[in-house]
């Protein structure tokens, strides 16, 4: 028998759902449970319970509400990233306020979805962040950039030595618009692997940990030609 004839199914993405609205939480859990390649490993009704479950279950992805009793989603996000650094966190919320989005990114969230998203969009977000990408809707990406443009000081100069290539700047601009790796690859006529390599190089050069952090930094340091 040839070595490569049988391939084991990939491990499912382990998901934890944390939301204080029981009806929403249970509904989301049931819908995600039937999605291929996704396994719901637990659910919690507040930030403290969510932290505890995250530490014991070590999920791959956590769907976390921002506004919850006992401990907010932002505080829980910080604590979970400290306890389980490998976990990817998606903030799932009714809030489209720029300040909430900014705090979520600062706290280490990999994604930001509004609660009116479809189950298909939520499942896709889980798969995207589990693959190491960030997920933010294009409309919220625009708000994120606006927030950081207001924060950046007009007199601040470029930091010397952090030179991105023209192609890396192109990739960063598209990341800033909310495009994922596949969409960037299609737009620039390059492979998805090449996009991943560019993103990795950008993060290494800027000494940052996530795509959204790279966008924040680039806007602050005026590395992007934004209007």
> What are the pLDDT digits (tens) for 44-60?
988 889 889 998 998 99
Q: What is the DSSP annotation of the chain? A: --TTS--PPPPPEEEEEE-S-HHHHHHHHHHHHTSTTEEEEEEESSHHHHHHHHHHH--SEEEE-SS-SSS-HHHHHHHHHHH-TT-EEEEEES---HHHHHHHHHTT-SEEEETTS-HHHHHHHHHHHHTT--EE-HHHHHHHHHHHHHHS-TTPPPPTT-PPPHHHHHHHHHHHTT--HHHHHHHHT--HHHHHHHHHHHHHHHT-SSHHHHHHHHHHTT-S---
Report pLDDT for 124.
87
The residues spanned by each domain of the chain are: 13-135, 144-220
Same fold for the domain at 13-135 and the one at 144-220?
no
Report pLDDT for 160.
43
Share of the chain above pLDDT 70, in %: 80
Confidence of residue 88 (pLDDT cuts 50, 70, 90): very high
User: What kind of fold does domain 13-135 have according to CATH?
Assistant: Rossmann fold (3.40.50)
Q: Give yes or no for residue 152 having a pLDDT over 70.
A: no
User: What kind of fold does domain 144-220 have according to CATH?
Assistant: Arc Repressor Mutant, subunit A (1.10.10)
Span of 105-114, 136-145, 183-192, 213-222 with lowest mean pLDDT: 136-145
Report pLDDT for 215.
74
Q: Mean pLDDT, to the nearest integer, of 142-160? A: 54
pTM listed for this prediction: 0.66
The more confidently predicted of residues 86 and 106 is 86
Report pLDDT for 143.
66
Confidence of residue 155 (pLDDT cuts 50, 70, 90): very low
């Amino acid at each position: 028998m040839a070595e490569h004839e049988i391939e084991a199914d990939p491990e499912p993405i382990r998901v934890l759902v944390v939301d204080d609205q029981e009806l929403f939480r249970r509904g989301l859990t049931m819908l995600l449970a039937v999605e291929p390649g996704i396994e719901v490993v637990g659910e919690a009704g507040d930030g403290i319970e969510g932290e505890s479950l995250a530490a014991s279950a070590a999920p791959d992805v956590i769907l976390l509400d921002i506004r919850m009793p006992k401990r907010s989603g932002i505080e829980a996000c910080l604590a979970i990233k400290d306890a389980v650094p490998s976990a990817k966190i998606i903030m799932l919320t009714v809030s489209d306020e720029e300040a909430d989005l900014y705090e979520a990114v600062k706290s280490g969230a990999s994604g930001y979805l509004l609660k009116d998203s479809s189950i298909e969009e939520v499942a896709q977000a889980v798969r995207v962040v589990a693959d190491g990408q960030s997920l933010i809707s294009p409309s919220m990406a625009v708000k994120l950039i606006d927030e950081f443009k207001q924060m950046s000081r007009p007199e601040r100069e470029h930091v010397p030595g952090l030179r991105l290539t023209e192609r890396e700047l192109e990739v960063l601009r598209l990341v800033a618009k909310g495009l994922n790796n596949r969409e960037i690859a299609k737009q620039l006529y390059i492979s998805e692997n090449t996009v991943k390599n560019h993103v990795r190089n950008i993060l290494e050069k800027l000494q940052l940990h996530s795509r959204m952090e790279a966008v924040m930094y680039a806007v602050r340091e005026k590395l992007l030609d934004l209007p």
